[in-house]
Chains A and B, each alone.
Chain A
Amino acid sequence: MGLLSVALTGNPNTGKSTIFNELTGAKQKIGNWPGVTVDKKIGYINHAGRAISVVDLPGTYSINSRSPEEKIVENYLMDEKPDIVVNVVDAANIERNLFLTIQLLEQRVPLLLDLNMMDEAKAHGIEISARKLGDFLGMPVVETVGRSRASTQKLLAVFTDTVMSDYTNSDRIEEHIEKIDDIRAQGLEHEAEEEAVIGLRYGLIDDIMTAAVVKGAAKPMLSHKIDRVLAHSVFSLPLLFLMIYGVFEITFYLGSDSRSQICSMDFLARIWPHG
């Protein structure tokens, strides 16, 4: 058996690069903001006697060739035809993430859905049935929690054990693709056509959400509470200045302490490269 090629796709900030690093042991730069991966990265692993290549593609919300990232993703999938295309989904934001999933299904690539950050989804009160989701779409679904050995092992096992050709789009998805073809055949103006197609996709997302996802009451997030104070229209700027003043005070309080062993010039001289 030859090299098994796997490509990671998904929205920005869904944990693709974390999974990539866990899988391949690479030290790829990861940031908690979107757009960290701007070009594709490749790594290799062996699992259960199979050599696997993993490609980390940039995060995109859609594939319409509207930005360089989207072009990289689209071209890679179309030209390289990987054996498995993993769609990493942030389970806590599944509704928004499904847009790309549907676009990928429309391209009929061998798609594997990875429901990542399942722990966060639960904290948000979101219950997703992986089985129902898989049945509805006609694709294998795995649940992971990002940085964990168990998740990595699970993914590797799915890569080597899953026969992708056993899965084909469900009737519901094929029906959706037919409807899109019908719209495109009408020769509408580009924007009207796009609006109709996007409307169809969101209609399908609504159906998927009804079929496989239960949204309960979310626990109020700490960050929202902090935001409410820090981003308040009246208090935010005084708070900002107060904090900057605090930093200023701390700096000069510590800096002016004559008993302090670390004099700033001394310290600089010590760490400055010689020569």
Chain B
Amino acid sequence: MMTLREARPGMKVKIIALAPSELKQRLMSLGLIKDTVVEVLRPAPLGDPMAIALRSYKLSLRLEDAEKIEVRVAE
């Protein structure tokens, strides 16, 4: 199982599931739902947070939150 946290810059991944968390509903509202393709852009200078792109916009995500998103590499 891979999480968004482990995805490397430049990778395109597809969301499989979101683990329960405080933020889950908010992340879903922002478009982080099953089958959505997310591109990993780059980590911040100190490694946390990370920048991702989805649905024609960019989002900055804490690593601890990215860890709760299960993904697989999108072809």
Least Cβ–Cβ distance between A244 and chain B, in angstroms: 15
With A198-B33, A231-B44 as given contacts, are A93 and B26 in contact (CB-CB < 8 Å)? Answer: no
**B43→A199 contact, CB < 8 A:** no
**A199→B34 contact, CB < 8 A:** yes
Least Cβ–Cβ distance between A208 and chain B, in angstroms: 12
Q: How many residues of B contact A (CB 8 A)?
A: 18
Residues in chain B near residue A198, CB distance under 8 A:
28-29, 33
In the complex, which residue of chain B has the Cβ closest to the Cβ of A230?
A: B45
Least Cβ–Cβ distance between A146 and chain B, in angstroms: 19
Interface SS of chain A: helix
With A191-B25, A195-B28, A231-B44 as given contacts, are A96 and B57 in contact (CB-CB < 8 Å)? Answer: yes
Interface residues of A in 183-238 (CB under 8 A from B): 191, 194-195, 198-199, 202, 205, 215, 231-233, 236-237
Residues in chain A near residue B30, CB distance under 8 A:
61, 96
Query: How many Å lie between the Cα of A177 and that of B35 in the bound state?
Result: 22
Query: How many Å lie between the Cα of A232 and that of B9 in the bound state?
Result: 13
Residues in chain B near residue A99, CB distance under 8 A:
29, 31
With A96-B56, A96-B57, A191-B25 as given contacts, are A233 and B33 in contact (CB-CB < 8 Å)? Answer: no
In the complex, which residue of chain B has the Cβ closest to the Cβ of A126?
A: B56
Residues in chain B near residue A237, CB distance under 8 A:
45
Least Cβ–Cβ distance between A112 and chain B, in angstroms: 23
**B55→A194 contact, CB < 8 A:** no
Query: How many Å lie between the Cα of A205 and that of B44 in the bound state?
Result: 30
Asked if A64 lies at the interface with its beta carbon under 8 angstroms from chain B, I say yes
Least Cβ–Cβ distance between A123 and chain B, in angstroms: 14
Interface residues of B in 26-62 (CB under 8 A from A): 26, 28-31, 33-34, 36, 42-45, 55-57
Residues in chain A near residue B20, CB distance under 8 A:
191
**A64→B57 contact, CB < 8 A:** no
Asked if A101 lies at the interface with its beta carbon under 8 angstroms from chain B, I say no
**B33→A195 contact, CB < 8 A:** yes
Partner of B45, one of A62, A195, A202, A232: A232
In the complex, which residue of chain A has the Cβ closest to the Cβ of B29?
A: A62
Interface bits A95-116 vs B (CB < 8 Å: 1, else 0): 1100100000000000000000
Asked if B72 lies at the interface with its beta carbon under 8 angstroms from chain A, I say no
Least Cβ–Cβ distance between B56 and chain A, in angstroms: 5
Least Cβ–Cβ distance between A143 and chain B, in angstroms: 19
Asked if A270 lies at the interface with its beta carbon under 8 angstroms from chain B, I say no
| B residues neighboring A (CB under 8 Å) | 20, 24-26, 28-31, 33-34, 36, 42-45, 55-57
Q: Known contacts A96-B55, A202-B31, A233-B45; can you find 14 more A-B pairs with CB under 8 A?
A: A61-B30, A64-B25, A66-B25, A95-B56, A96-B30, A96-B31, A99-B31, A191-B20, A194-B25, A195-B28, A199-B33, A202-B55, A205-B55, A232-B45
| A residues neighboring B (CB under 8 Å) | 61-62, 64, 66, 93, 95-96, 99, 191, 194-195, 198-199, 202, 205, 215, 231-233, 236-237
The 5 closest A-B pairs by CB, nearest first: A236-B45, A62-B29, A95-B56, A96-B57, A198-B28
